[in-house]
Amino acid sequence: MMPRRKPIIEIRGLRTQFIMREGTVTALDGIDLIIYENESLGIVGETGCGKSMTAFSILRLVPTPGKITAGSIRFKGVELRKLTEAEMRSIRGRLISMIFQDPSTSLDPVFTIGFQLGEVISLHQHVYDQSVLNKKILEMLKLVRIAAPQSVVKQYPHELSGGMKQRVMIALALSCNPSLLIADEPTTALDVTIQAQVLRLLKDLVKKSGSSMMLITHNLGIVAETCDRVCIMYAGRIVEIADTHELFEKPQHPYTKGLLTAFPKLGEQREELSVIKGTVPNLMKPFPGCSFVDRCDFATDECRRVRPSMIEVAPDHFVSCHLYRGGGEGDRVG
Amino acid sequence: MILRRQLNNLMISWKGARGFRRTMLDIVVRGSRNPMVVIGATIILVMVALAILAPVLPIADPTPPEVNPGEKLLPPSTRHWFGTDNIGQDVFSRVIWATRVSLTVASLAICFSLMIGVILGLTAGYFGGAVDYIIAGTIDLFWTFPAFLLALALAAALGASLTNVIIAISISFWAGFGRLMRGQALTVRERQFVEASRALGAKNSRIMFTHVLPNCIAPLIVWASIGVADAITIESSLSFLGAGTPATTPSWGNMLNLGMPFISEAWWVATFPGVVLLITVLGFNLLGDGLRDVLDPRMKGLRR
């Protein structure tokens, strides 16, 4: 079991909603999440479950008409929701950084790699001397293991391969040594051989710099390889949080179990992959009970009426499910 | 201190604009393979050279202090290449001096229109919402007036002077650039690198001017080139109607107006300024059209 560590970010009751004429979509419905220092946390869930929205909420970059309507986000003890926009800007990229899914569109096509790196470094570290800046740029490119940094500095994004571009993005995000790095599906757009390289690089760099990482993905394999802890999200809520090992060995929530059985294992003979029946609920309708109720095999009347709270079924293993309320009743399922 | 930081920032942007300069170089290189661009650019270069060199060229005084009755309405000859007009002024010399006036007016007017249009269009497209609603509404309001009628009304109201012509053309032209810029900004702001730079802590003004604007530059160049052609036409039309360049300053429009009564007996007085006007406008239109082909993103594959 992991020893208790200092939290780097503490999210309590975070609710992010999109208030529109057609109705209100609750993208995040009461998220409680802690990321500790020097750990990497994986956030897993299907499309639209609020993974990216959690990231955007932390950075306070929720696209309009979205708004954080409740809850608190404390970063190193500072309430981010209370900061001014200028204070928030000085945090973005410097203390909390983000990497996006598609590296080919995350870099500005009309500027060189060197310029774009220099821009971020001068913006946050107030380095204006071109020779110092150049040195820092080269350092960063070397750090992300780019083969010929001297020539890459002068190149444009379209001249680089996808993997190279993502390395540059990582260099951009890490250039100011952030305390928290948010990686939003950093390898989805890359091909499989490159994925492994980029993930290993990310993991190494984050460990080495003592930062924390929040890795958003829908690929459980990536999580198993990269993260210390995993958080499973479903329909804007967190359904289970546990150590990676614990979660893969002893999944508790019916949804987590469904996810794991839907995931093929190597060397296993199976005719068909199992699927979780049904579809994601409409986020426009508020539901009083558990969000997974319509797809759950163990749903009871209570699941429909009362929203389950987080239950610690084992040390550091939290599940949001009525099945475990009594404690030690986990055997009832599966 | 803050000022110095801003200044440094600017310096770095400029140095980093090496990329931007390369984009420009790239346009020149690819443009040189397009015949329309080459012909258009050649015409423009010749006209600009003539305009700049007008005071030092060995040509007659375009506005001689006294009328020479003996030189009246002479046909083209080796001494007067384009002949003379009804008060004995050399048409060739006047056409060249008129080039100076027309090009200055047109390019200044386009510069101002570009500045207003780009700033307002960029603001509207980037921020969206209520800001966009107000600016886009204003743009549409100006856009509904035919540019020439608006310029004519303004020039007539302001009175005939070079400054007023520039003002009138700028006011009637900026909406086009504003509309174009707004549309471009609307698409570029949705691209991920804008979001990425926001996530890395850039503020709105920086994103607008260092990331959105440079990505919209290509269509602006095309429009500016075609816009200069339109501005020349409007300037000449205004001058022809007597609402533009004052009659004492030679301009193509003035000269057309001046030569019109004698068109049957002295065709050269009105024809030469007309032809030069036509060629110049053609030059800018060719350049604009050619650049549009060159800068078309679908042609990017042919870059190397």
Q: Given pLDDT bands bounded at 50, 70 and 90, which one contains residue A291?
A: confident
Q: Given pLDDT bands bounded at 50, 70 and 90, which one contains residue B91?
A: confident
Position A275 pLDDT exceeds 90: no
Specify if B52 maps to a domain. Answer: yes
Position B36 pLDDT exceeds 80: yes
Which runs of consecutive H residues, i.e. helices, occur in A148-267? Answer: 149-153, 162-174, 192-209, 220-226, 244-249, 254-261
Q: Which structural domain range is residue A3 located in?
A: 1-95+222-265+272-322
Instruction: Give the integer Cα–Cα distance in Å for A119 and A166.
Output: 17
Specify if A187 maps to a domain. Answer: no
Amino acid at B242: G
**A86-100, A125-139, A262-276: lowest mean pLDDT where?**
A262-276
Quick one: DSSP state of residue A186?
T
Specify if B225 maps to a domain. Answer: yes
Instruction: Give the integer Cα–Cα distance in Å for A247 and A253.
Output: 10
Q: Which structural domain range is residue B114 located in?
A: 34-61+82-302
**A88-97, A242-251, B25-34, B93-102: lowest mean pLDDT where?**
B25-34
Residues of B in contact with A162 (CB under 8 A): none
Residues of B in contact with A119 (CB under 8 A): 12, 16, 197, 202, 210
Residues of A in contact with B211 (CB under 8 A): 108
Supply the CATH number for residue B164's domain. Answer: 1.10.3720.10
Question: What's the pLDDT score for residue A1?
Answer: 47
Position B21 pLDDT exceeds 90: no
Q: What is the pLDDT of residues A297-312, one digit of tens each?
A: 888 888 888 888 888 8
Q: Which residue has the tokens 């290189």?
A: B29
Position A330 pLDDT exceeds 50: no
DSSP string, B160-228: S-HHHHHHHHHHHHHHHHHHHHHHHHHHHTTSHHHHHHHHTT--HHHIIIIIIGGGGHHHHHHHHHHHH
User: Among all residues of chain A, which has the CA nearest to that of B196?
Assistant: A106
**What element of type H or E holds A17?**
strand A7-20
Q: Measured in Å, how far apart are chain A's first and last C-alpha atoms?
A: 25
Question: What's the pLDDT score for residue A59?
Answer: 93
Number of CB pairs < 8 Å for A and B? Answer: 97
How distant is the Cα of B98 from the closest Cα of chain A, in angstroms? 39
Specify if A276 maps to a domain. Answer: yes
Position A326 pLDDT exceeds 90: no
How distant is the Cα of A158 from the closest Cα of chain B, in angstroms? 11
A residues 83-102 lying closer than 8 A (beta carbon) to B: 86, 89-94, 97-98, 100, 102
Q: Which residue has the tokens 């540019």?
A: B147
Q: What is the pLDDT of residues B240-283, one digit of tens each?
A: 998 888 888 888 998 898 888 888 888 888 889 999 999 999 99
pTM, full prediction = 0.81
Mean residue pLDDT across chain B: 85
Q: Given pLDDT bands bounded at 50, 70 and 90, which one contains residue B9?
A: low
Q: Which residue has the tokens 């608006």?
A: B150
User: Among all residues of chain B, which has the CA nearest to that of A120?
Assistant: B200
A110 in contact with chain B, both atoms CB, cutoff 8 A = yes
Q: Which of A100, A120, A156 is closest, CB to CB, to B19?
A: A156
Specify if A202 maps to a domain. Answer: no
Position A36 pLDDT exceeds 70: yes
Q: What is the pLDDT of residues B180-225, one digit of tens each?
A: 999 999 999 989 899 999 999 888 999 999 899 988 888 898 899 9
Question: In angstroms, what CA-CA distances link B115 with A44, B121, B175, B206?
Answer: 48, 10, 11, 17
Specify if A109 maps to a domain. Answer: no
Q: Which of B193, B200, B210 is closest, CB to CB, to A97?
A: B200
Question: What's the pLDDT score for residue A230?
Answer: 93
Q: Which of B8, B16, B199 is closest, CB to CB, to A93?
A: B199
- Residue B241, SS3? coil
DSSP string, A256-324: HHHHHHTS--TT---SS-----S-PPPTTS--SS-TTGGG-TT--HHHHHSPPPEEEEETTEEEE-GGG
Amino acid at A196: A
The number of domains in chain B is 1
Supply the CATH number for residue A261's domain. Answer: 3.40.50.300
**A68-77, A274-283, A299-308: lowest mean pLDDT where?**
A274-283
How distant is the Cα of A39 from the closest Cα of chain B, in angstroms? 21
Q: Pick the residue with more confidence: B167 or A299?
A: B167
User: Among all residues of chain B, which has the CA nearest to that of A55?
Assistant: B199
Mean residue pLDDT across chain A: 86
Q: What is the pLDDT of residues B131-164, one digit of tens each?
A: 999 999 999 999 898 888 889 899 889 888 889 9
The number of domains in chain A is 1
The sheet that has A23-36: what strands, in order across it? A23-36, A7-20, A66-75, A78-79
Specify if B261 maps to a domain. Answer: yes
Instruction: Answer yes or no: do B19 and A115 touch at CB < 8 A.
Output: yes
User: Among all residues of chain A, which has the CA nearest to that of B26?
Assistant: A110
φ/ψ of B279, rounded to 5, equals -65, -45
Residues of B in contact with A112 (CB under 8 A): 16, 18-19
Q: Which residue has the tokens 């549009």?
A: B292
A42 in contact with chain B, both atoms CB, cutoff 8 A = no
Question: What's the pLDDT score for residue A112?
Answer: 87
Q: Which residues contact residue B173 at a Cβ distance below 8 angstroms, ignoring those fewer than 6 apart? A: B109, B110, B113, B117, B147, B227, B230, B231
DSSP string, A30-74: EEEEEEETT-EEEEE--TTSSHHHHHHHHTT-PPTTEEEEEEEEE
Question: What's the pLDDT score for residue B248?
Answer: 82
How distant is the Cα of A93 from the closest Cα of chain B, in angstroms? 4
The mean pLDDT of A147-176, rounded to a whole number, is 90
Q: Given pLDDT bands bounded at 50, 70 and 90, which one contains residue B298?
A: low
Helix (DSSP H) and strand (DSSP E) numbers for chain B: 12, 0
ipTM score of the complex?
Answer: 0.82
Position A315 pLDDT exceeds 90: no
Specify if A260 maps to a domain. Answer: yes
Q: Given pLDDT bands bounded at 50, 70 and 90, which one contains residue A215?
A: very high
The mean pLDDT of A144-159, rounded to a whole number, is 89
